[in-house]
Amino acid sequence: MGEPPHHFLTYRLLLEGRFAIADYARLFSRQSADDADRIGLGARLGTSGFAADGSMYGAAPQSALEARWREMFARIAAGTDQFAKDCAVSEAALDALRLFVNRMEAAGSRVALMLAPLPGAVIERLQAEGRYAYLDELRRILAVRFPAQFADFLDLRGVAPDSEFLDGMHGGEVTYMRIILAMARRPGSPLRDYVDEVGLKGQIDLWAGHARIPTDPTNRRFFPEITVDLINGIQARPYGPLVAMLN
């Protein structure tokens, strides 16, 4: 969660040979989707990642369950931002993804691709709108073109309750624990040797229905007020009271 000084980090990475001068120079020029500032250290130095330090998204949800999807419902109705209507799958984007996968695997990194989940309420609204069929087309194409790498977790209804989502677009910690465990269990998964499946399953069972795990050290450090409320108030109760209490 720390933010190392930008220039110090650059100097250290270059000195240790962990980042090439040529890659660093490219951060100051116009770049394509497969260039150095889109992944890993380049994203940190180029501040082009989703967060400058790769930190986790937000605190525990504070709004009522139904209110968490309000903004996404408005986007779906209007066809704005990530929810544009009547789109077509982009061959250029698929080519860029293939280039990225090939580049990573050529460098010795095994790649696992996954389609991130949306809450059941948002999935249902997309289906009711009737103008988002391209999402299902994309899912089919990815499954065919990346059979060894791709895992589809867009629709987790029946697996992860909506209360495990932070908002209409972001799954919470338990949701992603479910995803990591499922990916690790796939035959030939590159995650198999890195995931404590028993420990992860235990955390999922303990905190099912929650968007945050209050006993996690990061949460205890950065969100202490939520941690105290959860541990002292409702740790052993069903997740329904949790949502009400955080309101």
Q: What's the pLDDT at 92?
A: 93
Question: Are residue 129 and residue 193 in the same domain, yes or no?
Answer: yes
Of 69 and 1, the one with more pLDDT = 69
Stretch 171-183: mean pLDDT: 94
Question: Are residue 13 and residue 101 in the same domain, yes or no?
Answer: no
Question: Are residue 74 and residue 175 in the same domain, yes or no?
Answer: yes
Q: Cα dist. 186→89, 95, 139, 162 in Å? A: 27, 25, 18, 24
What's the one-letter identity of residue 114?
M
Question: Are residue 162 and residue 206 in the same domain, yes or no?
Answer: yes
**Average pLDDT taken over every residue of the chain:** 80
Of 42-46, 186-190, 233-237, the poorest mean pLDDT is in 233-237
Question: Are residue 186 and residue 220 in the same domain, yes or no?
Answer: yes
Question: Are residue 190 and residue 106 in the same domain, yes or no?
Answer: yes
Q: Against a cut of 0.75, is the pTM above it?
A: no
Q: Which of 14, 29, 55 is the last residue of a domain?
A: 55
Question: Are residue 90 and residue 6 in the same domain, yes or no?
Answer: no
Q: Which of 27, 55, 83 is the last residue of a domain?
A: 55
Q: What's the pLDDT at 63?
A: 65
Q: What's the pLDDT at 154?
A: 97
Stretch 92-116: mean pLDDT: 93
Q: What's the pLDDT at 14?
A: 86
**pLDDT band per the 50, 70, 90 thresholds, residue 39:** low
Question: Are residue 187 and residue 217 in the same domain, yes or no?
Answer: yes
Tell whether the model's pLDDT for residue 162 goes beyond 60. Answer: yes
Tell whether the model's pLDDT for residue 1 goes beyond 50. Answer: no
Q: What's the pLDDT at 223?
A: 61
**pLDDT band per the 50, 70, 90 thresholds, residue 151:** very high
Question: Are residue 85 and residue 2 in the same domain, yes or no?
Answer: no
Q: What's the pLDDT at 247?
A: 24
Burial of 236 (0-12, 13-18, 19+ CB in 10 A): exposed
CB contact at 8 A, 43 and 34 = no
Of 217, 218, 212, which Cα lies nearest the Cα of 166?
A: 212
Question: Are residue 107 and residue 219 in the same domain, yes or no?
Answer: yes
What's the one-letter identity of residue 179?
I
Question: Are residue 48 and residue 89 in the same domain, yes or no?
Answer: no
Share of the chain above pLDDT 70, in %: 72
Tell whether the model's pLDDT for residue 243 goes beyond 50. Answer: no
The domain of 19 spans 1-55
For 18, phi then psi, to 5°, come to: -90, -10
Tell whether the model's pLDDT for residue 112 goes beyond 90. Answer: yes
Question: Are residue 10 and residue 99 in the same domain, yes or no?
Answer: no
**pLDDT band per the 50, 70, 90 thresholds, residue 214:** confident
Stretch 69-94: mean pLDDT: 93
Of 33 and 96, the one with more pLDDT = 96
In whole angstroms, what is the distance from residue 164 CA to residue 239 CA? 9
Q: Which of 15, 36, 55 is the last residue of a domain?
A: 55
Count of structural domains, the chain: 2
**pLDDT band per the 50, 70, 90 thresholds, residue 220:** low
